[in-house]
Amino acid sequence: MTVSALSRGLWLIFIVAVIIFLTLPIALVILFSFNHSALTSFPLTGFTLDWYARLFANDSFWPALWNSTIIAVAVAVLSVATGVFAALALARMPIGRAGVLMSMLASPMMLPALSCGSSACRSVFTPLFSAIS
Amino acid sequence: MNMRSWALGLLPAGLVWVGLFVAPLAYFFAIGFWSVKARIMRPDFTIRNYIATFTDYGDVLASTLMIGLIIAIATTIVAYAFAYAIRFRTGRWGNALLLITLITLFGGYLVKIYAWKSILGRDGIINNALIGMGLINEPLTIFIYSAGGVVVTLTYFLLPFAVLPIYGSLRAIPDDLIEAARDLGASPFAAARDIVLPLCERGIAVAFLLTFLISVGDYVTPRFVGGGAAMMGHFIETQFSFGFNWPMGSAMSFTLMAVSLLIFIVIRKLLERAVRP
């Protein structure tokens, strides 16, 4: 085997491994949502839509979904509008000054979980953050 | 329109930044010097909270920073290699890989934690598989409720966050530059080390800072897969809730923030020196 074939093989193994690492956990959650047993373990015990039926029948599910939707839409509209105005302004500034201002405006991104330790940010940032993620 | 009226566009973002970020942070920084008597905090100027942070929580602080460093280093290295593969090694498949990375960003934070709980947990997939193969009789609890569980879960959560800034700076490197280096006789490895790596140092630094600060400040993941305690965020949160000691919580937050930034500055300097061709 040549060196380049070996390196291509190693890259392929690495890429496949990362993709499995990134997607498998979420795929498992989806898979087990159709599984009969309440336990998340193999072997699968049979296909069911029962969990979804129970979720939709749950009285607190629909208001919660509605609240999430309102918050998500409001956050998206407000942040995109604010962001567009800021980006238009930054694009017309000297590049150095724009860079500094942009790092300043982006700084809350660096500290969400950190500042969420403090209660003000727990009331202000956590709802924003979980709506995004 | 002239420059000045365009600058007004920054006003909404600026107001949000000052009102929702700088002001609360400044308020909590001030509170960090206040004192608490009978669960009521009163204005004061004492550094007792900061001293107590180091005397009472020094070991937690150290282990938190240690776990954060492990997560940040692991995530940044994997993210760099993956971003490098997307940019240089996969051709037209690169966009598909990028799309997969972006899609996993949309998965909810708690869903991801529960996913890992179902993999690593007592009744989880790994334990059941090991029992099924007859390798162990009793479920092992070393996968979950340990620092290892936190490292795996947060690395998984933060990997897309780290890939994007690194990929962004890799994409800004023109192909001609690498071709020029190769034409002048540089081996592929030398070109990667002397051209690519120094030019995306900024992206690597951003990825590292993001993953380090988020993992050091996290208090939800340790609670679900880390057996609750052992990380600073958990104790900070307790001060604000059951502890009724906001000044102590503030002092702990700002200590953690300051020490983390200090560590980042040192690592950034080391990184700059290491990648210089």
Q: What is the DSSP letter of B37?
A: E
User: Which of A71-75, B15-19, B105-109 comes out lowest in average pLDDT?
Assistant: B105-109
Q: DSSP string of A101-117?
A: HHHHHHHHHHSHHHHHT
Quick check: B124 and A104 CB within 8 A?
A: no
Q: Which of A88, A119, A128 to mutate to test the interface with B (most CBs of B within 10 A)?
A: A119
A18 in reach of chain B (CB within 8 A): yes
A85 in reach of chain B (CB within 8 A): yes
Q: Say which residue, B254 or B243, is predicted with more confidence.
A: B254
C-alpha to C-alpha distance for B116 and B150, rounded to whole angstroms: 10
Quick check: B82 and A40 CB within 8 A?
A: no
Tens digits of per-residue pLDDT, B27-40?
888 888 888 877 77
Tens digits of per-residue pLDDT, B103-150?
888 777 788 888 888 888 777 778 777 877 777 777 776 667 778 888
C-alpha to C-alpha distance for B261 and B205, rounded to whole angstroms: 12
- Which burial class, exposed, middle or buried, applies to A3 when counting CB atoms under 10 A from its CB (0-12, 13-18, 19+)? exposed
Quick check: A40 and B123 CB within 8 A?
A: yes
In this prediction the ipTM stands at 0.81
**Cross-strand partners of B41:** B36
Task: Let me know the angle formed at the C-alpha of B122 by B116 and B123, rounded to the nearest 5 degrees.
Answer: 85
Q: What pLDDT sits at residue A118?
A: 46
Contact list in B for residue A99 (CB cut-off 8 A) is none
Q: How many beta-carbon contacts under 8 Å exist across A and B?
A: 167
Please tell me which residue of chain B has the smallest CA distance to A103: B206
Quick check: B219 and A117 CB within 8 A?
A: yes
